[in-house]
Structure 1
Amino acid sequence: MSRVALVTGGNRGIGLATARELADRGFTVVVTHRSGEPPEGLHGVQADVTDSAAVDAAFSQVESEHGPVEVVVANAGITRDGLLMRMPEDAFTEVLDANLTGAWRVTQRAIRGMVKARFGRLIYISSVVGLTGAPGQANYAASKAGLVGLARSTARELGGRGITANVVAPGYVDTDMTAELTDKRREEILNSIPLGRTAAPEDIAKAVAWLASDDAGYVTGAVLPVDGGIGMGH
């Protein structure tokens, strides 16, 4: 029987690539999406990670239709970039609520079944920006750095129950989010990446899939950079 994996924000970008990679490896994959239909060939459940009741309902639906959730990929996130001096407070709190508190809500609900089963894989999609910082992204960087503390605390609390908690820190990935960069900024970024290219979402997905696998059973509390070398040393 295949393991059940839930990928939040799995309808595009890194989340979608991860969902497809896990499905290709035999997992039963369910993606959360806020509106519309799930991506073709994948199971979907509507959920907004900023709403605890919606998260609870989504897990209950997945458990009833597919069985206990054994792997969670906390990927859902938003950006509201702006310089610190002019950033409105809601731009900070909304990004923290979606990216960090959202991951906490999902974790708290997921571990109920994981503790009972004495098995679980919690994988948090952070960012190189959470480790290095970036101008205009104090809110986003803070939320992504917070995932490291969340994962490591969870790893310490629940390691004895067979649950691992790890972080993947992507660099610059070809997604809708990075498509908004100017050509000049894109060139600057490429020049700073030792491998000389941005990542495809599939590059991140393969690292996540490894952490979800039995091969990574002794890895917990780790931050795995998948960034072409841009963040090394951080």
Structure 2
Amino acid sequence: MSQGPVEKGGKAQLYRMVMDEHLCPFGLKSKDLLQRKRLDVEDHHLTTREETEAFMRKHGVDTTPQAFIDGQRIGGYEALREYFGLDSPEEDETTYQPVIALFATAFLVALAVSWTATGTLLSARMPEYFVAIAMTLLGLQKLKDVESFSTMFLNYDLLAQRQVRYGYVYPYAETLAGILMLGGALVWLAAPMALFIGTVGAVSVFKAVYIDKRELKCACVGGDSNVPLGFVSLTENLIMVGMGIWMPLRMYVL
């Protein structure tokens, strides 16, 4: 390994698989990274399996691509990122990024729906649109793999721990409630549904995090989530509770 990353200039050699049946994505990423660091890249294509295996035997490596900078082998794409001082998060590292991306998308879609429905971005119903869209997107994330979601959900949800099938029903209920609330349809069904799952969820998260002091991952964005269970998860459930109370009040009382 080189003593330190170059800031600009220099020469690099990149060996990557470029075949009719396979174009290595990490090879393309490595080439892009080297070029963005303003290195002069010699791009060597490994066009057959035999050529690739011969290259790996020659250099004593198990994978391609392989990058060399000024004659020094650096390695594959992750090694290049490390060489240039870029973050390479671990697969099991906790992060709020999926939740931030989902809620930001829900907010922008809510603005678009508000503009289409009322002719103004910040209409009175825009917050309702936002919550309903967020619920729908969260439900969709869980529906990608209901089995994995239900397994993670069982770590903390009090009702699912007593009735395992609830973990399988929850994603459908959340998605349906979100869609109905977005359309303002069947509120008599959607509101109690949101109120119920939100209340159970809030109590479960509060107990797991603030009473039992457990460090868990939240299943809110699916069973492969690295989002930590905590304030964000509690807030999500409390918003559903609020929506479950507000919608029937607005439609049938106010």
Normalising by structure 2, what TM-score? 0.28
Which structure ranks higher in relative contact order (CA pairs < 8 Å, sequence separation ≥ 6)?
Answer: 1
- Counting helix residues as a fraction of each chain, which structure ranks higher? 2
Normalising by structure 1, what TM-score? 0.29
- Counting strand residues as a fraction of each chain, which structure ranks higher? 1
